[in-house]
Amino acid sequence: MKSKGLLTASFLLLVLSGIIWWSNKKAATENKAPVESATTKLLSIPEAQFQEIEIKKRAGETIHLQRNDSKWQIAGPKPLRADPDAISNMLTSLSSLSSDRTVEEKATSLDQYGLTRPTIELSVGDKNNKTVKILIGDDTPAGAAVYAAIAGDPRVFAMSSYKKNSFDKSANDLRDKRMLLFDTDKLNRVELQSKKQSIEFDRNKDHWVIVKPSPLRADPSAVEELLRTLRDAKMDLSGTDDENKVAAEFRSTAPFAIARVSDSSGTQELEVRKSKDDYYAKSSAAEGVFKIASNIGTGLDKSLDEFRNRKLFDFGFADPDKLAIHDGSKGYFLSRSNSDWWSNGTKLDNAGVTTLMAQIRDLTATRFTNSGFTTTFLDLAVTSDNGKRTERVLISKNEDHFIAKREGEPALYEVAASAVSELQKSAADLKPATPAKK
């Protein structure tokens, strides 16, 4: 009995000790000062209020950005156009720049944080001539953040590294790398000279036409692709070649292609040269000679036929108003009323007409030719745009192939025999619509 009581007392003492230990630990935790985790605004300037930004790096490069009306430019280390997108992204980050946490409320020494000689010293001025200076120091021990401070403020903060990356930029990162500056919608003329040919395009209202070497219909997608290539022509500043070497490579080769774009304000020119597999360019819109991406060079290496419109009809995907087909002694005359097609007072089966229209719409030249048109074999006339436009295509048979031409145009198109025979068959197979059941 005596040993049993002793065992019970020992167990109760153990339990009591555990309770006292847990109570003391809880009290100690509650009395410990919490680490501040709330974010702190380092900058609070609306994007429209930024006027001047200076990025000074420990490595020695200092970039000075200035706002002139609504446009930004690089004022130093030398005057350059600024990239609007790069500047916009930076301003978005700076306008609401905040820390992740406060490391020290009253720092007695900034040296331990790398803030005495900061990695980046960021000076931001607004339109009220007020300047705020942000200091960016070393990485935190964990490496996911950097130390930061506001000049004149005793606090030291930790800020996510990705926020630092938003303005840890070089002059090359921030400069406008476009070789040509134009608004596609405002262009009225484009010229392209290459070893293959000299071609000129004019904008006729809302579409492009070829005017040289001769008046021809232009393929809208091909012209848009050319304009996209010119718009995407940018300086390749990723290499290690210096300006003198790039300029020497440019001078040592003959012109590969010359492109000119014109609008009401004037003409800009881009000259491209090729050295082995590399392309170099200079522009009237940018000072200097630069290496450019190879796809820009190949995008300008186009022949006249690659820009010509191979489609025989331009009425597109809108349903035309009328269709007339003369196939030898056979004639087909169709007119549309709302969504129904009629011929000589008879309503036609819609599926058959849809097939025929698709075949006419898709008539495409397999190649361009300068001769071979003889006697008209097939005559197609399509009226569209509420009667405002009529397109007529004449097709002749020349031995085993077909040659087509659009009325009023000198160009000749060779058309696949299968396309012509399928069109003839679809026209012959047109039938009345099935009467609705009573």
Q: Which of 304, 229, 294 is nearest to 256 (CA)?
A: 294
Question: Are the beta carbons of 137 and 119 closer than 8 angstroms?
Answer: yes
Give the Cα separation of 412 and 399 in Å (integer).
16
Q: What is the pLDDT along the chain (438 residues), one digit of tens a residue?
A: 444 554 455 554 554 555 444 444 333 333 333 344 568 999 989 999 999 999 999 988 899 999 998 899 999 999 999 999 999 999 999 998 999 999 999 999 999 999 999 999 999 999 999 999 999 999 999 889 999 999 999 999 999 999 999 989 999 999 999 999 999 999 999 999 998 799 999 998 889 999 999 999 999 999 999 999 999 999 999 887 788 999 999 999 999 999 999 999 999 999 999 999 999 999 999 999 999 999 999 999 999 999 999 999 999 888 899 999 999 999 999 999 999 999 999 999 999 999 999 999 999 999 999 999 999 999 999 999 999 999 999 999 988 889 999 999 999 999 999 999 999 999 999 999 998 776
In whole angstroms, give the CA distance from residue 274 to residue 297. Answer: 8
In tens, the pLDDT along 107-156 reads 999 999 999 999 999 999 999 999 999 999 999 998 899 999 999 999 99
pTM to 2 decimal places: 0.81
Is the bond into 77 cis (omega within 30 degrees of 0)?
A: yes
Residue 220 CB-half CA count within 13 A: 7
The domain limits of the chain are 47-174, 184-307, 322-428
Sign of torsion, CA 423 424 426 432?
Answer: positive
d(CA 266, CA 268): 7
State pLDDT tens for residues 297-314: 999 999 999 999 999 999
Cα→Cα distances 220→201, 207, 208, Å: 11, 7, 7
